[in-house]
Amino acid sequence: MTMIIISRFKPITLLIFILCSFGLRADAETDKRKLETEGEVNLYTHRHYEADEALFARFTEKTGIKVNVVKANADELIERLKSEGEASPADLLVTADAGRLVRAQEAGLLQAVKSEKLEDCVPAQLREPDGYWFGLTLRARIFAYAKARVNPASLSTYEALAQPVWKGRILARSSSNIYNQSLLASIIAQSSEEQAVAWARAVRSNMARPPQGSDRDQMRAVAAGLADVAIVNTYYLGILATSSDPADRKSAEKIGVFFPNQGGRGAHINISGAGVTRHAKNTENAITLLEFLVESEQQSEFARANFEYPVNPEGQRSPLLKKWGAFKADTLNLSELGKYNQAAVKAFDLAGWE
Ligand code: FE
C-alpha cells in the first residue's frame, strides 16, 4: 500500500518527504533533550517578595526552567541543608549577609562555580573569590538619626560614636545579630581586635538602653525620642517608610540617613546573596538563574523589592535610594567579614555588648 502511494509521487516529491520525516524525528530528539536540560531549579531562600516571584516567572518564560521556592529564615535553611545532606533537593541557597554565606560555605554546604557572566556583573568585592557565593543586592549599615535633634554635621564615623558626647543617645540591636557582627568584623579588618573591643565597649556604654529588638525597633525608638542615633541597615528605613502602619510611616518621616566614614574607608556595606549548594542536582540551571538575576534589567527589580541597591553597577537605584544620595562604600572584600566573624563575636562578648 505504502509503495503504491509513494509510486504515485514524482522522485523530487519523494525526496522532500523523506527529508522532512528525518527532520521531524530530529526535532523530536531536540525537544526531548531540551526537556531534560530545561527541568527545574530548587531555591532555599529567606526572601519573600512578590517581585521575586514575578522575576522567577519571567525566568521560566525565557528559559523553560521551573523555579521551586522554599522560604524560611536563613539560619533555619542552613540547618535544613545540614540535616538533609546529600539528599537535599536544594540547588541554590539565597540569604542575607556575607557572614551567613561564609558560615554556609565553611559548613561545606556550598560549591565553587565558575561563570564569566557572574564575574562580569558582580564586582569582585561582592562575591567569594572562588565562586562559592555571589552578591545579588546591596545594603549599607548606616546611622538613622533624629532630624529634630541631631545636626548631621555632628556625625562622622562609626569610631566617633565611641565619644562621650553620645552618652545615652545611641541605640543598636543585640550582638547575636549577624549585621552587627559583620560591622564589627569590618572594624577588626581595618584596625585590630583590641580596638574593636574598645569601640564596642564605648558604644555599648553610650546606649540609651540595653540592646534589644530589630533595626526597625531602634528607629521607632529614635522617632519616639528615646535616643538620637541608631545603627541600622538602609532597607529597613524603606520598609518603615512604606509600612501599612501609619505610625511606622510617621516614625520614618522623623529619621534622617547618614552614611558614616565618607572621608575615610566608606560606609560598611553588605549583601544578600546566593551560592550553589554542594549537593545540587540542577547545577547548570542554578547558575543560569543566578546569571539572569544579575542582569541589569532584573537587578533593578530584585533590589527594589527590598529597598536595596543593585550589585550590578548598571542596575537602577529606586527613587527612595536616590533621595538618600550617593555614598562611598567600604571596599573591603565581603568574604573578610566571615573570616573575622568569630573574632567579632568574641570582641562583643569582651565588651559586654549583649
Ligand atoms: Fe534584614
pLDDT in tens, 189-225: 999 999 999 999 999 999 999 999 999 999 999 999 9
Kindly give the distance from the C-alpha atom of residue 97 to the centroid of ligand 1, in angstroms, as a whole number.
Answer: 8
In sequence order, the 6+-apart residues with CB closer than 8 A to the CB of 201 are 350, 351, 352, 353
- pLDDT of 328 above 80: yes
Cβ–Cβ < 8 Å for 91, 290: no
Q: How far, in whole angstroms, is CA 132 from its chain's centroid?
A: 14
Cα 12 to averaged position of ligand 1 atoms, centre (Å) = 69
- Ligand 1 center to residue 116 CA distance, Å? 29
The DSSP line for 289-336 is HHHHHTSHHHHHHHHHTTT-EESSTTSPPPHHHHHH---PBP---THH
Per-residue pLDDT of 264-283, as tens digits, reads 999 999 999 999 999 999 99
- Nearest residue to 307 via CA among 241, 244, 238: 238
d(CA 220, CA 254): 9
* Bridge partners for 291 per DSSP: none
Q: Ligand 1 center to residue 4 CA distance, Å? A: 75
Q: How far is the CA of 178 from the centre of ligand 1 (A)?
A: 9
Task: Report CA(96)–ligand 1 centroid distance (Å).
Answer: 7
Q: How far is the CA of 350 from the centre of ligand 1 (A)?
A: 25
Q: How far is the CA of 168 from the centre of ligand 1 (A)?
A: 25
Is 331:266 a contact under the CB 8 Å cutoff?
A: yes
Domains of the chain by start residue, with CATH: 40-138+269-324 (3.40.190.10), 141-268+336-351 (3.40.190.10)
pTM: 0.87
The SS3 of residue 171 is: strand
Q: How far is the CA of 124 from the centre of ligand 1 (A)?
A: 23
The dihedral sign for the CA sequence 293, 52, 270, 175: negative
> Measured in angstroms, how far is the CA atom of residue 251 from the centroid of ligand 1?
19
Q: What nine digits make up the cell of 186? A: 569590618
pLDDT confidence tier of residue 48, bands split at 50, 70 and 90: confident
